[in-house]
Amino acid sequence: MRLFLRRLFYMASFEKRGKKWRAVVSAIEGANRVKRTKTFPTKREAVAWAVKVESSKIDGYEIARSKITLPEYFLEWYERYRKPDIRESTQARYISEYHRVINLFDGIKLDQLTTPLIQDKLDEYGKTVAYTTIAKFWDIVKSSLRDAHIDGLIKKDIWSRVKVRSTKSGAHKGVLSAKEFVKLQSYLYQHIDSDSDLGILIALETGARLGEIAAITINDIDFKKSTISISKSYSVAVQKVTETKNEQSHRIISITNDLKNVLHEHQSNLPLYSHYYNRQFSRRLNYILENLDIPRIRFHDLRHSHASFLLYNDVSIDYVSKRLGHKNTRITLDVYAHMLKEKEQEQDQIALSFLSSSPQMSPDSKNNA
């Protein structure tokens, strides 16, 4: 019982004053520590009072904290739980998302948030931006709401039923099909007319991120072993070379002899960030895809297309995961499993063909079975 009381009243203390007991309860309110004291004839009464006061202080703290607005909480959450562990370029992204939180939820307190309210706000935002933009925004905001729930500032799950929608037309959401992949690849090898073309080809054949590609120098390429070392990334947000996204992103990527030869021929163009400005590569990619009659995709979808093309051609999921710099295969499967429609259709045909060509069982064989 004594151990239980010590754990329960870590903010309360009891003193015997003559024949009476004095209870002292302390709490943090804002930046200040406050104390309440009261004396009782018995320790049992002092303990009971302390329990009541502790409970009211905790409830009062939660109620007071739930009165802060979502933008206020989001900023606190970012500063405490995200900022210390992310790159400078990623910090810039969070600050950008913080301003979007202000635009959508300014003045709305945590205890006023409901699923319908959030859905309406996201739908409003979805009228102005593409699906991928709002999806990334919601992933971050949802993480902050989950932590607010853990902190007791939101009483129930108000995020799980929220749907991401966008009515703005934009790049095709998905990846290149196997045929489109080969078509684009063939075109690029015949038309390396700019730094952007070179960057697009590298992305298509390595699955590297745009920042990683922009930071590649001639020293990162081993022409004897036909490999590229990925150890850094260029950030447009801070306009300098930074660390890669995470530790797993440090990797050695094997490349084809064709790509090696192109890199050797255009080595004076490296690093690409010296010629790089925002959206340059995406604009060039859109131009090429339009000429090839291929649906528009984002530049980052070249990375998805690379992975899907390898998986479509039965390359091991473990190898693809390491090639992309993923922490584990679960991440790879989560991202790419739904992108293998062509492969699924092909497997359907193989299975049906096999079943159709199976010899019919004779009546005798059925009886023997």
Rounded Cα–Cα distance for residues 59 and 64 (Å): 8
Rounded Cα–Cα distance for residues 271 and 219 (Å): 10
Would you give the end-to-end CA distance of the chain in angstroms?
70
What pLDDT, in 10s, does the model give residues 31-79? 455 677 888 888 888 888 877 766 655 444 444 566 789 999 999 999 9
CA dihedral 150, 154, 160, 162 (to 10 degrees): -140
Can you give the pLDDT at residue 9?
36
Can you give the pLDDT at residue 237?
73
Domains of the chain, with CATH numbers? 2-65 (no CATH), 70-150 (1.10.150.130), 178-345 (1.10.443.10)
> Which H or E element spans position 27?
strand 20-29
Can you give the pLDDT at residue 186?
96
Can you give the pLDDT at residue 31?
45
Can you give the pLDDT at residue 11?
56
Beta-carbon contacts of residue 160 (< 8 Å; ≥ 6 apart): none
Rounded Cα–Cα distance for residues 294 and 280 (Å): 19
Can you give the pLDDT at residue 130?
80
Tokens 């959508």 found at: 104
Can you give the pLDDT at residue 217?
95
Can you give the pLDDT at residue 144?
95
Low-confidence ranges of the chain (pLDDT < 70): 1-11, 26-34, 53-66, 168-173, 275-278, 334-346, 357-369
Can you give the pLDDT at residue 1?
38
8 A C-beta contact, residue 296 and residue 286? yes
Q: How many CB atoms lie within 10 A of CB 346?
A: 13
AA identity, residue 256:
T
Rounded Cα–Cα distance for residues 229 and 251 (Å): 6
8 A C-beta contact, residue 23 and residue 49? yes
What pLDDT, in 10s, does the model give residues 192-231? 988 999 999 999 999 999 999 999 999 999 999 999 999 9
Can you give the pLDDT at residue 38?
85
Length of the chain equals: 369
- For the chain, the average pLDDT equals 83
8 A C-beta contact, residue 245 and residue 325? yes
Can you give the pLDDT at residue 326?
86
